[in-house]
């Protein structure tokens, strides 16, 4: 019981000390609301159709600002506009501008600001009271200072590709041919969008087919110029790509034997005048499993042919032997025929009595 009364006495003494502490011992002066917030888009170097935002504001009126923090969040949660929150902190208190993002994100799906999307810009002055901030919404145009949106890229037509592997002078090549069909949704593409070029590549499989997303590295890449509107189909086109195979053996006659041990895919994509890459059409140029299956099928055919020849030869021999056996049996069971009247007598045995 005496322990309970001791705890209560200690709590009451601490509460009394806190209540008697003067309010100006630890004063808190929150920064005022930032004024004149404005946003200007600028091109972002070394980026893929992205821009950066130059955010400016007026000098603060009121208590001194120790630092600023800036947040840029996407308002539209679509596939082309979705991104993580762009955040800049520890901006000096005497600064009046900041760039967000200052550099492209090295991570896929990271902070990115793209044309054609809407963003909410939030500027916070510190010390912060927890709820006061300057906010502004920004709607970017489809093209900003030469940087255009690629939201339509998934709707670009996919080329129809055919790849054939062939050998010439001991080297392996892939003949890639393709045709461009009409887009499935032409009204959802930018009006009068023109073609720029075709991106042709040959890739080796680096991850097994057992993986949910097999990855192919581009070993050979080429481009072919294109003209006209995207909505107009064209083709066929073709291009020969060499194969740089690592497993190369040379014989005494200086002939090369190329051994392919991985799957190879030929891809063709359309790039429009905005520099946007459309979906890739692809075809298998070489598959080791199919090659093994072809060799196995040829071997199987040869074995079956040999087996059939052996069976035919055995049947011929069997028929020949059977014929001889049948003749012998017939000779044993059938008596000798009596001589005819016209048959000469000297053909009869000596012991036959002549009359």
The token pair at 152 is 């339509």
One fold for 35-148 and 153-245+258-294: yes
Residues 284 and 163: their CA atoms lie apart, in Å, by: 7
Angle at 96 between CA 93 and CA 100, to 5 degrees: 100
How many other CB atoms sit within 10 Å of the CB of residue 263? 20
Helix or strand (DSSP H, E) at 293: helix 288-333
Residues 78 and 83: their CA atoms lie apart, in Å, by: 9
Over residues 232-283, the pLDDT tens digits come to 999 899 999 888 644 444 444 444 445 566 788 899 999 999 989 999 998 9
The backbone region for 4, taken as left when phi is positive above 0, alpha when psi lies in -120 to 50, beta otherwise, is alpha
* DSSP assignments along 71-89, one per residue: EEEES--STTT--PPEEEE
Structure-derived torsion over alpha carbons of residues 6, 8, 11, 13, reported in degrees to the nearest 10: -70
pLDDT tens for each residue of the chain, 355 residues long: 555 555 566 566 656 655 555 555 556 678 888 899 999 999 998 888 899 999 999 998 888 889 999 999 999 888 888 888 898 988 998 999 999 998 888 877 788 899 999 999 999 999 888 888 899 999 999 989 889 988 899 999 999 999 998 888 878 889 999 999 999 989 889 999 999 999 999 888 766 655 555 556 667 889 999 999 999 999 899 999 888 644 444 444 444 445 566 788 899 999 999 989 999 998 988 887 765 555 555 667 777 778 888 888 888 777 777 767 666 766 666 665 655 555 555 555 555 555 4
**Phi, psi (rounded to 5 degrees) for 142:** -65, -35
What is the second-level CATH architecture of the domain 35-148?
Answer: Sandwich (2.60)
Residues 235 and 180: their CA atoms lie apart, in Å, by: 6
Distance of CA 165 to the CA centre of its chain: 22
What's this model's pTM, rounded to 2 decimal places? 0.62
* Residue among 32, 177, 11, 160 nearest 93 (CA): 32
Distance of CA 247 to the CA centre of its chain: 25
The burial class, CB within 10 Å (0-12 / 13-18 / 19+), for 153 is: buried
Q: Note the pLDDT of residue 236.
A: 92
* DSSP assignments along 50-68, one per residue: -EEEEEE-PPP-SSPP-EE
Q: Note the pLDDT of residue 245.
A: 46
Q: Note the pLDDT of residue 234.
A: 93
Structural domain spans, the chain: 35-148, 153-245+258-294
List of residues 6+ apart from 177 with CB closer than 8 A: 161, 162, 163, 164, 236, 237, 238, 239
Residues 28 and 20: their CA atoms lie apart, in Å, by: 18
* Residue among 34, 38, 36, 33 nearest 138 (CA): 38
Tell me the CATH class for 153-245+258-294: mainly beta
Q: Note the pLDDT of residue 33.
A: 87
């Amino acid at each position: 019981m005496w322990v309970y009364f001791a705890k209560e006495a200690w709590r009451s003494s601490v509460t009394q000390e806190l209540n008697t502490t003067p309010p100006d011992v630890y004063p808190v002066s929150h920064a005022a609301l930032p004024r004149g917030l404005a946003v200007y888009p600028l091109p972002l170097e070394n980026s893929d159709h992205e821009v950066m935002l130059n955010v400016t504001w007026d000098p603060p009126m009121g208590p001194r600002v120790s630092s600023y923090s800036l947040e840029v969040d996407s308002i539209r949660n679509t596939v082309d506009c979705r991104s993580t929150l762009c955040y800049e902190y520890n901006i000096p208190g005497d600064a009046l501008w900041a760039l967000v993002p200052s550099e492209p994100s090295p991570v896929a799906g990271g902070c990115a600001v793209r044309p054609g999307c809407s963003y909410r810009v939030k500027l916070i002055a510190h010390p912060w009271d927890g709820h006061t901030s300057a906010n502004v919404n920004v709607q970017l145009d489809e093209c900003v200072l030469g940087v255009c949106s690629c939201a339509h890229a998934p709707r670009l037509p996919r080329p129809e590709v055919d790849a054939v592997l062939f050998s010439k002078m001991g080297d392996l090549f892939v003949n890639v041919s393709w045709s461009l069909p009409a887009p499935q949704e032409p009204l959802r593409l930018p009006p009068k969008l023109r073609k720029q070029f075709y991106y042709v590549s040959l890739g080796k499989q680096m991850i097994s087919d057992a993986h949910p997303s097999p990855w192919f590295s581009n070993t050979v890449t080429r481009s072919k110029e294109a003209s006209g509107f995207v909505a107009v189909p064209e083709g066929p086109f073709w291009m020969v790509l060499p194969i740089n195979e690592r497993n190369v053996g040379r014989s005494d006659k200086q002939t090369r034997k190329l051994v392919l041990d991985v799957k190879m895919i030929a891809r063709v994509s359309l790039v429009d005048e905005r520099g946007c890459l459309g979906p890739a059409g692809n075809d298998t140029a070489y598959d080791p499993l199919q090659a093994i299956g072809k060799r196995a099928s040829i071997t199987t055919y040869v074995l079956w042919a040999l087996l059939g020849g052996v069976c035919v030869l055995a049947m011929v021999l069997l028929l020949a032997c059977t014929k001889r056996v049948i003749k012998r049996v017939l000779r044993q069971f059938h008596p000798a025929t009596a001589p005819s009247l016209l048959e000469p007598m000297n053909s009869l045995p000596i012991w036959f009595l002549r009359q």
